[in-house]
């Protein structure tokens, strides 16, 4: 079997995309590559076909280990389990096999009643079986309980004398290796901390628990092994970690955990291992680095992570094949070239391309470019040349601006598809508009209208002053970034605490910043940190909006709205002062607008540009008003209306040890894939489409199709980046809710304490002993402090509702 054939077969079992709370599209818990004779890319031979040889040992090491597949365990259990009914032993010699099957099934199902009957001495059974009995394959009861995630059953077995550290199966693997191999964190934790099993154990193939955890494709299992079993850490020290001992443990073929994670396409595990200090340039017995195996897996996320981590892209295998050769053989050259280009390298040679600009210069150009292009575009519009030439010049200007941004400016400091949206360009568009407005106000509006509109001028002056102050405050202020944890002791203690609460999953533990995730937080892929009480990202201020700058952002938007209204009013008065035109000149325009069109075309065109900004700003303020009134953030509100998706949190809570989960499990779901906005927009588009179509009802298929097609087009338009930038997508959902008289699902509005209380909590920051006053109105958080239902809370450490400081 060739490698492409094997990968095509495995694509049916690829890790499913699922939204999680750690900033994004993650992979499902068990990425199984079940072939026992996997053919992998190798370097032997002189041409492309001869360079493929079977390395069955690699897959055997992963899928072997003498471990039964979970489905096999279930089949055996279903065939032998007696649902709690026991069989009295009349003739032990004749019934041994039947009894062992019942006991094994009881261990698999966690049936304590059956286990007690056969394994403990009682009036009904005076000759109990040993808790260390094995089935026909030599597998112990502890193995079966561990594999089937039956923690209570396993505890019982060990309490009555079962050995939790005995090797079994063809590969002589212990229950710990079985549990780790299938990502059962709680089973592994109990065996390590309570049963005190040997954590340095390896199976017959030399596979230890670190490699086994990578095979599970459960990133929480990998995190547990990496951050709680650190031979390099002093338990009494809080020294920041440089690298974890044993992170580069190898298998018999010289492959590290990072090699295996890259081969599996498990980008989350790759990121975890790299952050823990794994060496990405180590080679295995065939000369492959992790980068080579990432190309074999054809995983863009894995290869991007390794390239960004400064892996050696020039490394060659024993047969002299480079990453370019591997990419060519794996038919992923276009992906490889794209990754190199995004990293600022020459796709052919891999050398770093010389940047024309420094990062600071690039940011400044992106910010100030609209100061040139915006007035030039309006000047073209009002010029007396023919319309066709105007259109040509505007298109030329737009294309030239796009080329300057995408080819010269943005590559100097941003990467990825959304670099323009996350750049300072849109903040530059806003400030350029404000600058031109101020010039018009000072040199035209004041001279013409000062005597008649003094109050409007005063209000405009105050509004503009406040708007400029709040704009730069919201732009440069820390929105509430929660620091990454670097203390080994704190990280391990956090993991242990979450395990005790049965909350060690990606909803409650950030796999990137290694902290317990507070309520209402969201992971920022750009900054690699969680944002406390995250609301949204605003391109107009080029910053995230969170707990610390949300009030400032609302003050900015409100003052801007007032400033636009005053400026527009004064502009009308200015038009009124211009010479009037006859009715035949005006057409559909009012007398004032007609005077403005003929008397001051530049101001007239710019007036409509500002009115366009007024529309989206009004939408934004309405949406924000409703959300704050309901005690919700923009992020929470959008996720409340999301369609159901296949979510995974990498939780492995034992099936026989149920614990009530807190409500946050369905609160948020972050998207952390490389195409963050694009992947999310598909969900938004589907959701808006359903929202629009749900308002129509027509039994005639032809009429329904005639209605549905335009609505589908509208949903694509509304879910576009431009419309989402101005909040139009949420406005559509809100309007639909009002039209259909829908009430927001109250159980999901976790932080709604009524209109008055919600606004009091938002506007006033009352620390202990404070009362409502102007001082608490203008107070801003130092870190994550805020009010929730009148109580002072710290959103950096808010882990449950009603958790005051």
* Residue recorded with tokens 């959902």: 733
Alpha helices in 413-528 (DSSP H): 425-440, 446-449, 454-476, 488-500
Do residues 162 and 140 lie in contact, with contact meaning Cβ atoms separated by under 8 Å?
yes
Q: For 186-208, what is each residue's pLDDT tens digit?
A: 999 999 999 999 999 999 999 99
Q: For 35-70, what is each residue's pLDDT tens digit?
A: 232 233 333 333 333 333 333 444 444 444 433 333
**Predicted pLDDT at 732:** 62
* High-pLDDT (> 90) share of the chain, %: 58
* Alpha-carbon span 518 to 800, nearest angstrom: 8
**91 pLDDT more than 80:** no
The count of other CB atoms within 10 Å of the CB of residue 77 is 19
**Predicted pLDDT at 410:** 86
The count of other CB atoms within 10 Å of the CB of residue 739 is 9
Residues 6+ apart with CB under 8 A from 445: 567, 570, 571, 573, 574
| Structure token pair of residue 610 | 């500002």
Q: For 358-399, what is each residue's pLDDT tens digit?
A: 888 999 999 999 999 999 999 999 999 999 999 999 999 999
CATH of 65-212 among 1.10.287.3510, 1.10.3720.10, 2.40.37.10, 1.25.40.20: 1.25.40.20
**Predicted pLDDT at 726:** 59
- Asked which of 159-163, 233-237, 446-450 is least confident by mean pLDDT, the reply is 233-237
| Structure token pair of residue 780 | 């801003």
**527-563: burial string, b at 16+ Cβ within 10 Å, e else:** eebbbbbbbbbbbbbbbbbbbbbbbbbbbbbbbbbbb
**497 pLDDT more than 80:** yes
Strands in 705-780 per DSSP E: none
* Alpha-carbon span 793 to 768, nearest angstrom: 10
Domain ranges of the chain: 3-62, 65-212, 359-473+548-629, 675-752, 762-794
CA distances 756 to 288, 630, 633, 763, 790, Å, are 63, 10, 16, 11, 11
**Predicted pLDDT at 354:** 81
| Structure token pair of residue 789 | 């239902």
Q: For 511-544, what is each residue's pLDDT tens digit?
A: 999 999 999 999 998 889 999 999 999 999 999 9
As a whole number, mean pLDDT of residues 575-582 equals 77
Per-residue pLDDT band for 422 (boundaries 50, 70, 90) equals: confident
The 8 Å CB, 24+ separation contacts for 765-774 are 766/790, 766/792, 767/792, 768/792, 768/805
Whole-structure pTM value: 0.81
Indicate the angle between helix axes 601-629 and 550-577, nearest 10 degrees. 150
> Of 589, 725, 748, nearest to 664 (Cα)?
748
SS3 of 727, please? Answer: coil
Do residues 289 and 320 lie in contact, with contact meaning Cβ atoms separated by under 8 Å?
no
| 40: β partners | 53
> Of 333, 334, 329, 291, nearest to 39 (Cα)?
329
Q: For 715-731, what is each residue's pLDDT tens digit?
A: 555 555 666 665 666 66
Q: For 433-447, what is each residue's pLDDT tens digit?
A: 999 999 999 999 999
* Residue recorded with tokens 């079940």: 34
As a whole number, mean pLDDT of residues 228-233 equals 63
> Of 513, 512, 507, nearest to 482 (Cα)?
513
Q: For 683-704, what is each residue's pLDDT tens digit?
A: 444 454 545 445 444 555 555 5
**Predicted pLDDT at 342:** 85
Percent helix, percent strand, percent coil in the chain, to nearest 5: 50, 5, 40
The count of other CB atoms within 10 Å of the CB of residue 380 is 18
- Asked which of 30-44, 244-258, 320-334, 716-730 is least confident by mean pLDDT, the reply is 30-44
**Predicted pLDDT at 656:** 83
Rounded to the nearest integer, the mean pLDDT of the chain is 80
Higher-scoring residue by pLDDT: 699, 258: 258
Q: For 114-124, what is each residue's pLDDT tens digit?
A: 999 999 988 88
**22 pLDDT more than 50:** no
* Alpha-carbon span 755 to 746, nearest angstrom: 14
Query: What is the side-by-side order of every strand in the sheet holding 481-482?
Result: 481-482, 529-531, 522-524
> Of 685, 554, 540, 675, nearest to 623 (Cα)?
554
Helices (H) and strands (E) in the chain, counts: 34, 11
**95 pLDDT more than 90:** no
* Alpha-carbon span 279 to 286, nearest angstrom: 17
* Alpha-carbon span 353 to 681, nearest angstrom: 33
Higher-scoring residue by pLDDT: 740, 269: 269
**Predicted pLDDT at 403:** 93
**Predicted pLDDT at 730:** 62
Do residues 716 and 671 lie in contact, with contact meaning Cβ atoms separated by under 8 Å?
no
**Predicted pLDDT at 702:** 55
**503 pLDDT more than 60:** yes
Do residues 148 and 111 lie in contact, with contact meaning Cβ atoms separated by under 8 Å?
no
**Predicted pLDDT at 18:** 37
SS3 of 277, please? Answer: coil
**8 pLDDT more than 90:** no
DSSP 180-238: HHTT-HHHHHHHHHTS---TT---TT---HHHHHHHTT-HHHHHHHHHHS-TT--TT--
* Alpha-carbon span 739 to 106, nearest angstrom: 56
As a whole number, mean pLDDT of residues 240-246 equals 50
């Amino acid at each position: 079997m060739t490698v492409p054939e094997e990968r095509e077969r495995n694509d049916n079992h690829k890790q499913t995309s699922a939204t999680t709370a750690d900033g994004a599209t993650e992979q499902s818990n068990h990425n199984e590559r079940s072939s026992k004779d996997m053919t992998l890319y190798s370097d032997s031979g002189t041409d492309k076909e001869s360079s493929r040889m079977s390395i069955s040992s690699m897959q055997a090491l992963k899928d072997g280990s003498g471990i039964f597949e979970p489905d096999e365990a279930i089949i055996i259990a279903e065939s032998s389990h007696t649902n709690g009914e026991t069989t009295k032993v009349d003739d032990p010699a004749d019934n041994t096999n039947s009894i062992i099957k019942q006991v094994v099934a009881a261990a698999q199902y966690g049936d304590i009643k059956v286990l007690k009957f056969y394994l403990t001495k009682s009036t009904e059974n005076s000759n109990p079986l040993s808790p260390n009995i094995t089935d026909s394959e030599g597998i112990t009861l502890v193995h079966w309980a561990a594999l089937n995630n039956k923690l209570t059953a396993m505890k019982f077995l060990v309490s009555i004398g079962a050995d939790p550290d005995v090797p079994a199966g063809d590969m002589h693997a212990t229950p710990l290796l079985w549990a780790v191999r299938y990502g059962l964190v709680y089973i592994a934790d109990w065996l390590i901390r309570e049963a005190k099993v040997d954590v340095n154990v390896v199976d017959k193939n030399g596979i230890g628990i670190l490699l086994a955890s990578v095979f599970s494709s459960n990133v929480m299992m990998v995190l547990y092994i990496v951050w709680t079993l650190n031979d390099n850490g002093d338990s009494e020290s809080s020294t920041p970690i440089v690298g974890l001992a044993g992170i580069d443990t190898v298998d018999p073929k010289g492959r590290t955990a990072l090699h295996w994670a890259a081969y599996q396409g498990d980008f989350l595990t790759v990121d975890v291992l790299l952050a823990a200090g794994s060496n990405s340039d180590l080679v295995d017995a065939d000369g492959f680095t992790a980068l080579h195996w990432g190309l074999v897996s054809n995983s863009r996320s894995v290869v991007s992570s390794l390239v960004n981590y400064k892996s050696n892209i020039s490394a060659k295998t024993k047969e002299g094949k480079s990453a370019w050769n591997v990419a060519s053989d794996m038919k992923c050259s276009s992906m490889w070239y794209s990754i190199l280009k995004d990293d600022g390298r020459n796709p052919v040679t891999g050398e770093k391309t010389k940047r024309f600009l420094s990062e600071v210069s690039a940011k400044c150009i992106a910010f100030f470019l609209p100061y040139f292009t915006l007035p030039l575009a309006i000047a073209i519009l009002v010029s007396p040349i023919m319309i066709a030439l105007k259109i040509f010049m505007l298109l030329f200007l737009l294309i030239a601006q796009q080329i300057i941004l995408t080819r010269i400016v943005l590559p100097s400091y941003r990467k990825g598809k959304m670099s323009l949206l996350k750049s300072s360009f849109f903040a530059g568009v806003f400030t350029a508009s404000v600058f031109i407005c101020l010039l018009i106000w000072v040199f035209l509006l004041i001279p013409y209208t000062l005597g008649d509109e003094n109050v409007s001028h005063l209000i405009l002056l105050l509004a503009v002053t406040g708007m400029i102050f709040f704009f730069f405050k919201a732009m440069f202020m820390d929105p509430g970034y929660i620091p990454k944890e670097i203390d080994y002791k704190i990280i391990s203690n956090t993991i242990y605490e979450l395990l005790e609460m049965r909350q060690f999953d990606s909803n409650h533990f950030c796999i990137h910043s290694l902290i317990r995730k507070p309520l209402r937080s969201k992971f920022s892929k750009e900054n690699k940190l969680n944002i406390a009480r995250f609301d949204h990202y605003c391109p107009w201020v080029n910053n995230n909006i969170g707990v610390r700058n949300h009030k400032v952002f609302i003050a900015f938007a409100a003052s801007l709205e007032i400033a636009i209204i005053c400026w527009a009013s004064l502009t009308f008065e200015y038009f009124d002062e211009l010479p009037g035109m006859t009715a035949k000149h005006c057409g559909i325009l009012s007398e004032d607008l007609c005077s403005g069109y003929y008397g001051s075309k530049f101001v007239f065109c710019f007036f409509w540009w500002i009115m366009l900004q007024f529309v989206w700003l009004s939408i934004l303020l309405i949406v924000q008003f409703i959300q704050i009134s309901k005690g919700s953030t923009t992020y929470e509100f959008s996720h409340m209306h999301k369609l159901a998706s296949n979510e995974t949190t990498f939780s492995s809570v034992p099936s026989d040890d149920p614990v009530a989960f807190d409500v946050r499990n369905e609160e948020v779901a972050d998207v952390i894939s490389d195409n963050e906005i694009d992947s999310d927009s598909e969900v938004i588009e589907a959701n808006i489409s359903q929202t629009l179509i749900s308002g129509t009802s027509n039994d005639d298929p032809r009429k329904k199709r005639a209605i549905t097609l335009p609505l589908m087009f509208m949903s694509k338009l509304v879910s576009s980046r431009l419309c989402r930038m101005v909040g139009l997508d949420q406005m559509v959902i809100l309007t639909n809710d009002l039209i259909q008289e829908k009430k927001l699902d109250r159980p999901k509005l976790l932080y709604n304490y009524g209109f008055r209380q919600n606004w009091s909590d938002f506007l006033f920051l009352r620390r202990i002993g404070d009362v409502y006053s102007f001082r608490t109105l203008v107070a801003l958080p130092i870190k994550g402090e805020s009010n929730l239902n009148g109580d002072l809370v710290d959103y950096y450490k808010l882990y449950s509702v009603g958790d005051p400081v």
